[in-house]
Chain A
Amino acid sequence: MVSRWRWLALALGGLAVAPVVLPPFFVYLVALVLVTGLLATSLNLVLGYGGLYQFHHGVFYGIGAYTVAVGITRLGWPAWLAFLLGPVAAAAAGWVIGFFCVRLSRLYFGMLQLSLGSFVWIVALRWYPVTGGDNGIHGIPLPAPLQTLAGAYGLVAAVVLVSLGILWAVVRSPFGLTLQAIRDNPQRSEVMGVPVRLHQLAAMVLAAFFAGVAGVLYVVLERSVFPSMLFWVLSLEILVMCLLGGWFTFSGPLVGAVVMVGLRTLVGRYTEYWTLVVGVLLILLIFFLPEGIMGWLQQRRAALQAPSVRPAAAGDVRG
């Protein structure tokens, strides 16, 4: 426990001094990692803790971002109102898509979500007058304090930290524990009188909300939105982040986001074959590190210490 707090203090300190000591591009990169990390963590609420095959999480990220972009540039909303409505719109979409998906079996859940999500993507790609079609929307005017990199970084860092704190609390709450119990044994939970579908739907809405928050922060950082934010490839990439970091740990998706964003920036600079690199890495990961980086660390620590008494160790969860 002590070491966890030490890590947290270290991370907070690092984030606080980052804009002062790092060159601008790396400040931007840290902010991008935070946004992506929040997105992946929100997915993990339903994927790792909820055991749901959320195949198209990017849709909620995109809806959050597009709500802000369309609200500010087309509807003339004040920026702060748009920032609030972005996550709300994403949560609403999460409820609608979840409503149709949660009663289905796992894989079917994922497939149907992929299909419904693709409709949202097609709307964003085709509805030129509103969404800007394949262009997206660029140069979105933001309040003056957010127009500097330092200002954008400050807001991103603060909101991501608060959101992660809330997600952490959710995972530990009775709701979060019930969700994990449902994941581990849906039949038993059902028999015990737990409203399984309701819990899963609530988790989806919550995850969609925080994906929407990440979408809003993306706009703060980039001042642009793109239809590729809603494309299925991005959603699979977020899944890969969860897997890479370890999807049975809270910090895993964050670690995955660091590695993926870093890889894309570094490998993408030197070779046009970076998807090949990512593909090979992913395959190796599946075979040799299936619990992800954090899962592996946790297992090692558990192996070093006395026999673990932690409930539901990572390896026990199988669909």
Chain B
Amino acid sequence: MSARRRWIALVAGTLAAASVAGASAAPAVRFDRNIKVGVVDTYSGPPAVFGNDALNGFRLALQEINRDGVHGARIEFVTRDEKFNPEIGLSMARELVLQERVDVLVGTINSATALAISAFAREQRVPFLVWISKSEAITGARGHRYVFSTTENTAMAGKALAEAMVRRGYTRFWLAAEDYEYGHAVTNSFWRFVKRLKPEAELVNQTWWRTGEPDLVPYLTQILQARPQAAFFGTGGAGMANVMRTMQVIGFAQRVPSAIHTAIDVTVLRPLGTAAPEGVFGTTDYLYYYPDTPANRKFVQDFQAAFGGPPGFPAFHGYITGHFIAEAFRRARSLDRERFVEALEGLRIQTPVGEVEMRACDHQAVLPMIFGVTRRDPRFPHLVAGDPTVIPGANVMPTCEDIRRARERAR
């Protein structure tokens, strides 16, 4: 309980400091209307699990924010279901901007949708915060003034995993991935960093399967036969569950050390129960049980009380997205979109995993990565991350110079 109080005091302190700073600098502002956020995400189909989790985190943040409001205004939101289809997502975003006149767009799980909406947001000059989609192109090569990311991306995940695998001495890799935007992005990023760290690293071969491939046994047995030193898998969502199950069935990870981004993630391991393989190396940027800090404990308790289950990484992203939006409007002291964008650049807020900065040069939240290996733990109904270590966000982020070059190349 004392931890909880300390956290509240911390938040209150920050807010008080912010408002005092604001008050001393200029007369108090009052917004003449509420802030309206338009959420486009998948609420039907398998990825709805992630979409709903993110929305719950966002709801929790709004409960906290709307208790005191932002310059007298509340943050409201409307949701639209994009059905994991970028075409529908784009038309929903259009409706939210042109018809609902939202101040800020938020979404999505689908990287393809995020990129489509991002192009539209740029054209319409509407801020767009991406909270689950991990393609590094969003804030990298195809980033612009109006798009922000509150989620870790494939560049960060690829670098964290590449470092961990190279440190373990592996040099002969097999790359296997799902043939879609995220699969390509995370696999390319991993291999780029492996080659940068160890130029002599050898690519034994690579396999690509289509999204929704029901049976991965042929793919995995083929890799087993080729006996690479290690394997990297670029897959997410339902495909992730399939890889993990197939690994468990044929005992893959015991024979070929494997790395997968999100392998240690709760959203992946919880639905699998005990049917998940041990010994898979993985990364994620949020775990509800680690690090066991007062701030994290408080967030998990509140979330559990509100929604009856522990938060996954999308919930964490939804939660910090809400607070980033509120804090940026507080700083902007205006409902103007340009002022909001400027206030959000370089903004630092307190989160359940500590202070997080929205980097000004690429609009990417600097989130720490957790590295670990899947392991059974009798205290949990699902596998957990064994030997977890936290890698500070600054260590895995591409440099501002990298970003500038990537954007130039894209042009």
Whether chain A touches chain B in the assembled complex (some CB pair under 8 Å): yes
Complex: A135 Cα to B117 Cα, angstroms:
11
Q: Which of B112, B119, B122 contacts A134 (CB 8 A)?
A: B112
With contacts A138-B115, A228-B85 known, is A133 near B179, CB below 8 A? yes
Partner of B119, one of A28, A138, A226: A138
Find B116's partner among A24, A128, A226, A265 (CB 8 Å cutoff): A226
A25 x B94 contact (CB < 8 A): yes
Neighbouring B residues of A268 by C-beta, 8 Å:
80-81, 88, 92
The smallest beta-carbon distance between A137 and chain B, in angstroms, is: 9
Q: Is B44 an interface residue (CB 8 A)?
A: yes
Residue tally, chain B, CB below 8 Å to A: 30
* Distance in angstroms between the alpha carbons of A136 and B123 in the assembled complex: 17
Instruction: Kindly state whether residue B43 has any CB partner on chain A within 8 Å.
Output: yes
Which residues of A221-256 have CB atoms within 8 Å of chain B's CB atoms?
A: 222-224, 226, 228-229
Contact A224 B119 (CB under 8 A): yes
Cβ contacts under 8 Å, A269 to chain B: 80, 95
Q: Which residues of A have CB within 8 Å of B294? A: none
**CB-contact partner of B111 in A24, A32, A128, A135, under 8 A:** A135
Using Cβ atoms and an 8 Å threshold, which residues of chain B touch A32?
91
| A316, CB-defined interface residue at 8 Å | no
| Chain A residues within 8 Å of chain B by Cβ, number | 25
- Please tell me if the beta carbons of B98 and A136 are within 8 angstroms of each other in the complex: no
Q: Does B90 contact A (CB under 8 A)?
A: yes
A283 to chain B, nearest CB (A): 20
B115 touching A135 by the CB < 8 A rule? yes
Contact present for B98 and A139 (CB under 8 Å): no
Measured CB to CB, the closest approach of chain A to B153, in angstroms, equals: 15
Selected from B92, B99, B116, B210, the residue in CB contact (under 8 A) with A224 is B116
Q: List CB contacts (< 8 Å) of B112-126 with chain A.
A: 112, 115-116, 118-120, 122-123
Whether a CB of chain A sits under 8 angstroms from the CB of B180 is yes
Q: Which residues in A have their C-beta under 8 angstroms from that of B122?
A: 139
Those of B77-120 within 8 Å (CB) of chain A: 80-81, 85-88, 90-92, 94-95, 98-99, 111-112, 115-116, 118-120
The yes or no answer to B301 lying at the interface (CB within 8 A) is no
Contacts of A138 in B (CB 8 A): 115-116, 118-120
**Which residues on the A side are within 8 Å of B91 (C-beta)?**
32, 222, 265
Q: Which of B201-215 contact A (CB under 8 A)?
A: 210-211
Contacts A23-B98, A134-B211 known; A228 to B184 CB distance under 8 Å?
no
B117 CB → nearest A CB, Å = 9
Question: Is there contact, CB below 8 Å, between B123 and A134?
Answer: no
Q: Residue of A at shortest CB range from B180?
A: A134
A223 near B86: Cβ-Cβ < 8 Å: no
Q: Does B181 contact A (CB under 8 A)?
A: yes
Q: Which residue of B lies closest to A26 (CB)?
A: B99
Q: CB-defined interface of B201-234 with A at 8 Å, one 1/0 digit per residue?
A: 0000000001100000000000000000000000
Contact residues of B with A, CB < 8 Å?
A: 43-44, 80-81, 85-88, 90-92, 94-95, 98-99, 111-112, 115-116, 118-120, 122-123, 179-181, 184, 210-211
Please give 16 more A-B residue pairs, beta carbons under 8 A apart, in addition to A136-B86, A139-B122, A229-B87.
Answer: A23-B98, A125-B210, A126-B179, A128-B184, A133-B181, A134-B86, A134-B211, A135-B115, A135-B116, A136-B116, A139-B120, A222-B90, A226-B86, A226-B87, A265-B91, A272-B43
A: which residues have CB within 8 A of B?
A: 23-25, 28, 32, 125-126, 128, 133-136, 138-139, 222-224, 226, 228-229, 265, 268-269, 272-273
A-B contact pairs, 15 of them (CB 8 A): A23-B99, A134-B112, A134-B180, A135-B115, A136-B87, A136-B112, A139-B122, A222-B91, A224-B86, A226-B86, A226-B116, A265-B91, A268-B92, A269-B80, A269-B95
